[in-house]
Every structure is written in structure tokens, then in C-alpha cells.
Amino acid sequence: MELTVWQTFVTVCRLGSLSAAAAELHHTQSAVSRQIAGLERQLGVPLMERHARGVRPTPAGEVFRHHALITLNEADRAVRAAREAGDGAFNRPLTVGATPSLAAGIVPEAVRALLRQAGSIRWSLLPGLSAQLHQRVITGDLDIAVVTDAPPGLPHDTRVERRFLGLDEMVVALPVDHPLAGRGPVHIRTLADQTWAEDNDGSAALLHQHAARAGVSARIDLTAADLPGKLALVATGHAIALIPGALTRALRTDVTTVGLVGPPTRGVYTITPCRDPHPCAASLLDQLTAAFASVRPAHAAHRLSGTAAHPALPDCQT
């Protein structure tokens, strides 16, 4: 089987359209159809099915897509490694993934400390949501990911090694001229009549759960496409928002924060693959631990004395 055909199949799955895949790959639609049909003949099972808005993988196709992604990523890594080792010296690049709030603060800080310790290393940073980052570690796109267990949580997966960094207390982002700016921790009931903005389901779930425990509701009237968009709505006075405490030091200057009484928390973890870990992964884990400890609010430290609510998950299994 040719890997180019596998790439065509993966692209069709991602885009959900033969024509869109053909345009991206610079093929004709008929050529893409022939490649998929040939692959189905080789495997002896249907891989694609049509629906009202395009195509999607069958159950067999979804299984094949998962393994094809791993194979394609490994093939790409093999080609890059061979080219980079042409002069006899191989410097494997480090690819790091992180949720947007962690990518904005502790991850660059930790990598800076790593570079000071280990010298020059080529590295890249890919932000994403926790579920996406977990999958990219599995497929080999990422050497390490920094994720959270905010709803819907993290899956148990024996193909990865997971390390608990600590608990992150959520805080409320306010415009700098808000009446509560500069105040100490406030009860969520104080904010019950405010307009809230959100950018993802996990953060919204934390807000709703925290408000429900206090017997009030939080009106999420505005939705942002991403974290910068949510903070822009806050800065311009349209709303307030629940944000991770780890983000506080990286906030724009026209946004401030106020703590919550009994705040909602999320566990922060690193994920690394069980197979073929990057040589610098262990050192980066140590730097991430130190960087997270430096931004954790002092009043949250006692919560880390026991991690029963956020247990470390099992190590890799073979």
C-alpha cells in the first residue's frame, strides 16, 4: 500500500468531502475517488459512507484512520530524522502542546529554563484543547502535552505517561474599571447578575457547577471563539469571565482578576508517550513542575497536600 493513498484517505476523513480533499491535495475529485476505492479493494471492507453533507468513515474506516495517522506521522518523522542526521549529528526537535492558558504562560517559561540547562534545542509549541492534545500525543505529533482535567475530563490511556503538576484555581477576569477590581475573594452570589463570556464547554461547565453549588446561576450571554476573544470581551466591558489562575501573570494590561470564595479548580497534567519519549522530556517535566509552582496562588497551596480528587493515573502498560 502506498502512503500517498493513506494520506488521501486521512485528508478525506478530516475534511468530510472528496472535493475538498481533492482541492487541498491538488488532485481531481475522480482521482481521489479512485484512490479510496482502490484502498477499499485492498482491505476488503468499505471505508467511507455518504451522508447529506459529504462523506464520513465507516466503523472500519475510523479504525483504519486512527492507525493510518500514527503510521503517516512516524513516516514523516523518519524522513525528517534521516535528513537531519545527514551530517552525522542528530538533534531531534521537541514538539510541545498545551492548552491556550498554559501555552500563554508556564510552558514558554519552562522551555526557557530547559534551554538554559540543555543548550540549543529546536522546539515548537502547538496550542489546543486537552482532548485534541491527548490524541496528538498518541499519534506522535507531540512529544509532550500540558493539559487539564476540566470537563469532560481526561481519558485513562495506558499508551501515555501522565504526571500531575498541581491544582489550578479559577479566577474571574474583570475590566480594570470594574467596581470589584482590587477587591479580595468574592462569593459567586455577588456576581450572579453579571453577564459572562465563555470560549469553551469545559470552562463553562466549571462556572455552572460552581454557581449551582451556591444556589445561583451564571448567565453566559456571550460566546467567544477563543481565549483572546473572551478576554477582549472582558477588556471592553461587555462581560466578565472565568479564567485559569495560571493565566493571571500573562493577562493584557486592561484586564484584572478577582478571586472566588471556594473557587472551582482543575488539575493540570503532563502527558508523554510511553514509546520513544524525547530525550529532553524528563528535564522539561521538572521545569514545568517548577514553573507551575511559581504561578500557583499561595492560598491554594494547602489544596495540594493531598490529591485525592485529582489522582495520578496509571503509568504506561505494556
Task: Report which residue type is found at 65.
Answer: R
Please compute the mean of the pLDDT values over residues 280-304 and round it to a whole number: 73
Q: What percent of the chain has pLDDT over 90?
A: 66
In angstroms, the CA 69 to CA 73 distance is: 6
pLDDT at 263: 94
Q: Report residue 306's pLDDT band, with 50, 70 and 90 as the boundaries.
A: very low
Pair 127, 98: CB distance under 8 Å: yes
Residue 309 has pLDDT above 80, yes or no: no
For residues 255-265, give the mean pLDDT. 94
Give the global pTM. Answer: 0.69
Neighbours of 282 (CB within 10 A): 11
User: What is the pLDDT at residue 301?
Assistant: 36
pLDDT, mean over the chain = 87
For residue 154, the tally of other CB atoms under 10 A from its CB is 18
128-154 pLDDT tens trace: 889 989 999 998 889 999 999 999 899
Q: What are phi and psi of 219, to 5 degrees?
A: -85, 105
Using alpha carbons, select from 48, 62, 131, 121 the residue that is nearest to residue 97.
Answer: 131
Read off the pLDDT of residues 271-288 as tens digits, 9 standing for 90 and up: 999 988 898 999 999 999
Check if the beta carbon of residue 91 is closer than 8 Å to that of residue 121. yes
Q: What is the pLDDT of residues 71-106, one digit of tens each?
A: 888 788 778 767 766 655 556 789 999 999 999 989
Would you say 245 and 295 are in contact if contact means Cβ atoms under 8 Å apart?
yes
Tens-digit pLDDT profile for residues 166-201: 999 999 999 999 999 988 899 999 998 999 999 988
Contact by Cβ (8 Å): 235, 253 = no
pLDDT, residue 79, reads 80
Residue 295: pLDDT band by 50, 70, 90 thresholds?
confident
pLDDT score at 45: 94
Q: Which domains does the chain have, with CATH numbers?
A: 3-84 (1.10.10.10), 91-166+266-299 (3.40.190.10), 168-264 (3.40.190.10)
* Terminal alpha carbon distance of the chain: 28
- Alpha-carbon dihedral angle through residues 128, 134, 136, 137, given to the nearest 10 degrees: 130
**CA 291 remoteness from chain centre:** 18
3-state SS assignment for residue 191: helix
Cα 290 to the center of its chain, rounded Å:
20
Question: How far apart are alpha carbons 103 and 179 in whole angstroms?
Answer: 30
